[in-house]
Amino acid sequence: MSDVNDLSPERFPCPEDYEELLEQLRLMAGREERDLELYTFLIDQVTPQIGLQREDERFTTNRTVLRTNRDVTRRNLEILEETYRDLTGERIVPIRQRFILPISYRAGLERAIMHELNDAEIYRDMVLNLPQGNLTQVAIRLYTNTMMNIDRANFLFSRTTL
């Protein structure tokens, strides 16, 4: 996002229901915060892989993949915060989503995949409903990040079934 607080209609064309967009940004920020907790839980569940795999970049460890998803989720949260601040000049107050501790690593991965799929649908709808401009580009970035998280989580899930 830009450091310049330029809210011109050319830069930030907003949908007719501006308040609904702001509410959606707060909701998604809460969902991303909950997903950060979930990825942290999953990272803690994975036993660090020792030996060559830890130091050799040719090996993809579960922990590395989960950290990547956590970092992408954190970046999505930052994007939502920046966008909200650019639109309103205020700090976002996320609509808090309840985090429920998964009963197992596998159950946590299943939940992460479902959360990411639900988020992708919301971001996709944002892309489709926003007028062309910077907000559409932001929504596309959020959607793309979320789709990559889904792919990585599915990769990890497939490892649990082998």
Asked if the model's pLDDT at residue 156 lies above 80, the reply is yes
**CATH code: domain of residue 120:** 1.20.1260.10
> Would you state the pLDDT for residue 132?
75
pLDDT at 17: 74
pLDDT, average across residues 89-110: 95
Gap between the Cα atoms of 88 and 29, Å rounded? 15
What average pLDDT does the chain have? Answer: 86
Q: pLDDT tens digits for 43-68?
A: 999 876 555 445 556 678 899 999 99
Helix (H) / strand (E) containing 151: helix 134-160
Examine residue 120 and state whether it is found in any structural domain, yes or no: yes
Say whether pLDDT at 28 is over 70: yes
Tokens of 44: 């803690």
In a domain? residue 11: no
Does residue 30 have a pLDDT over 90?
Answer: yes
Cα 155 to chain centroid, rounded:
17
Q: Is residue 160 very low, low, confident or very high in pLDDT (cuts 50, 70, 90)?
A: confident
Contacts of 75 (CB under 8 A, 6+ apart): 145
Alpha-carbon distance of 88 to 4, in angstroms, equals: 13
CA distance 70 to 91: 22
Q: Is residue 5 part of a domain?
A: no
Instruction: Calculate ∠ Cα 88-92-95, nearest 5°.
Output: 130
Question: Is there a domain that residue 9 lies in?
Answer: no
Residue 159, pLDDT above cutoff 50: yes
Top pLDDT among 92 and 5 is at: 92
Q: What was the pLDDT predicted at 98?
A: 92
Residue 2 lies in a domain: no
Identify whether 77 is part of a domain.
yes
pLDDT of residue 7: 47
In total, the chain counts a number of residues equal to: 162
Question: Is 108 within a domain?
Answer: yes
Query: Is 50 exceeded by the pLDDT of residue 3?
Result: no
**Whole-structure pTM over 0.95, yes or no?**
no
Count of structural domains, the chain: 1
Q: Could you tell me if residue 89 is inside a domain? A: yes
Range of the domain at 38: 18-160
